[in-house]
């Protein structure tokens, strides 16, 4: 099938109508593929291990484990600028021989003129102006990653999760002093470590952090946890507290979700990307009222990792790397030759809470960032043959791996 896959789910029917055909038809209006950007050392056959990305000013940044770097792309020219690599104690971990939990870099969050980058045992600090790694903040010594983060810019507090720790924990950092001010552990009310931590967001209107928890005793396939910012700031400096003990904490069950991405939408909406590990379970994106946890919408629009909301278009963008032709989860939730995936960028109207379109993307394309100024969308992807599980990627034109650029409108 072509790069421009499908279009327009009407109302609540989720009937997707074929909207695009043939090649790179860049003259069309609406969401569409524009071009690809090559990444150094990523070619046909490369298993490109990348993670989270973000836009800051005229630059798009994303983490690149193959090159052990934070990669920088110039948005106006749509060109690769630099693979930002540290050295010595400031070097990113890279791939290494072990699992992804021991690899880095991972999450990336702009913080003023810096980028905070999750890595094994630490957060590395990148200066955007000089494109250099300038310092690091140690959060652990166990050899597993600090993964995804989010920023409370109002109070100057950065949260980053360490999902593979036992128990998992989140570290809170003062961005003015670049020091750890508190940690919150995630042992559930039954006394069991939670299954891990995924994306987080900070809502300045309510002064709450939100984080996706992979699973708890009460909600084995995921829960959305609300952490009041005031309760975090009340922890004695350098102290540790369990999340269930925080004043005002709330836990909202997400059903059979296995959550990944998280995005604050308009009003009180918060969107949760599900990546179900249950074979043949519907791949869902769920929208909740973040003030009380009420489920507002459940769409067959999941299977992704990073999920972003763009205010100018009032749309969500889900990098659905594990989408399938049936809209149901592949075997055990993983793409393979025997249980292939058909990765797409799913676009959802945040006002009507309905699917707008799906655009074909490349292999394992699980990361997405939207530039609100230009409406450009950036989606890294791996080569068509590695990892296995995307037999249609080459015929869709996504062969070598790199970064695809789409137009939001």
Range 163-170 average pLDDT: 98
Please give the pLDDT value at position 105: 99
Render pLDDT for 113-126 as a digit per residue (tens, 0 to 9): 999 999 999 999 99
Q: Say whether pLDDT at 11 is over 70.
A: no
Residues spanned by the domain of 279: 51-72+83-344
78 within a domain of the structure (yes/no): no
> pLDDT tier at 29 (50, 70, 90 boundaries)?
confident
Model pLDDT for residues 307-330, shown as the tens digit of each residue: 999 999 999 999 999 999 999 999
Residue 117 lies in a domain: yes
Tens digit of each residue's pLDDT (9 = 90 or more) over 191-222: 999 999 999 999 999 999 999 999 999 999 99
pLDDT confidence tier of residue 98, bands split at 50, 70 and 90? confident
pLDDT in tens, 49-82: 999 999 999 999 999 999 999 999 999 999 999 9
Give domain status of residue 387, yes or no.
Answer: no
Residue 355 lies in a domain: no
Residue 186 lies in a domain: yes
| % of the chain surpassing 70 pLDDT | 93
Assess whether pLDDT exceeds 90 at residue 242: yes
Average pLDDT, the chain: 94
State how many domains the chain has. 1
Closest residue by Cα to residue 179 from 139, 152, 217: 139
Q: Determine, yes or no, domain membership for 98.
A: yes
Q: Provide the CATH number for the domain around residue 304.
A: 2.130.10.10
| Confidence tier at 18 by pLDDT (50, 70, 90) | very low
Question: 10 pLDDT exceeds 70?
Answer: no
Across the range 261-281, mean pLDDT stands at 99
Least confident span in 12-16, 172-176, 205-209? 12-16
Confidence of residue 97 (pLDDT cuts 50, 70, 90): confident
- At 342-381, the pLDDT tens digits run 999 999 999 999 999 999 999 999 999 999 999 999 999 9
Task: Tell me whether residue 14 is in a domain.
Answer: no
């Amino acid at each position: 099938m072509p790069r421009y896959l499908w279009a327009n789910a009407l109302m609540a029917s989720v009937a997707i109508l074929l909207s695009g055909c043939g090649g790179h038809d860049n003259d069309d209006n609406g969401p569409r593929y524009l071009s690809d950007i090559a990444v150094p050392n990523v070619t046909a056959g490369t298993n490109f291990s990348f993670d989270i990305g973000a836009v800051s000013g005229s630059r798009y940044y994303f983490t690149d484990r193959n090159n052990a770097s934070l990669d920088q792309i110039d948005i106006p020219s749509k060109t690769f600028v630099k693979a930002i690599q540290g050295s010595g104690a400031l070097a990113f971990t890279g791939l290494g021989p072990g699992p992804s939990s021991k690899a880095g870099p991972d999450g990336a969050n702009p913080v003023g003129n810096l980028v905070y980058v999750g890595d094994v045992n630490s957060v590395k600090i990148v200066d955007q102006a000089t494109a250099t790694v300038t310092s690091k903040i140690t959060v652990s010594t166990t050899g597993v990653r600090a993964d995804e983060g989010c920023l409370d810019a109002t109070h100057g507090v950065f949260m980053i999760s360490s999902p593979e720790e036992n128990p998992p924990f989140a570290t809170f950092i003062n961005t003015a002093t670049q020091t750890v001010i508190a940690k919150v552990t995630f042992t559930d009310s039954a006394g069991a470590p939670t299954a891990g931590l995924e994306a987080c967001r900070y809502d300045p209107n309510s002064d709450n952090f939100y984080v996706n928890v992979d699973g708890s005793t009460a909600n084995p396939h995921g829960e959305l946890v609300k952490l009041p910012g005031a309760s975090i700031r009340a922890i004695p400096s350098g102290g540790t507290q369990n999340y269930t003990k925080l004043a005002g904490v709330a836990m909202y069950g997400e059903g059979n979700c296995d959550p990944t991405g998280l995005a604050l939408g308009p009003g009180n909406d918060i969107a949760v990307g599900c990546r179900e590990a249950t074979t043949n379970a519907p791949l869902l994106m769920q929208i909740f009222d973040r003030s009380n946890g009420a489920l507002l919408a459940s769409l067959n629009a999941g299977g992704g990792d990073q999920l972003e909301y763009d205010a100018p278009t009032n749309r969500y963008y889900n990098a659905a790397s594990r989408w399938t032709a049936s809209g149901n989860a592949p075997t055990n939730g993983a793409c393979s030759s025997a249980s292939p995936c058909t990765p797409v960028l799913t676009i959802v109207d945040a006002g009507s809470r309905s699917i707008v379109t799906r655009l074909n993307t490349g292999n394992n394309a699980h990361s997405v960032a939207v530039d609100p100024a230009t409406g450009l969308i950036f989606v890294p992807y791996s080569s068509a043959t590695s990892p296995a599980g995307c037999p249609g990627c080459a015929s869709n034109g996504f062969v070598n791996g790199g970064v695809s650029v789409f137009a939001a409108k």
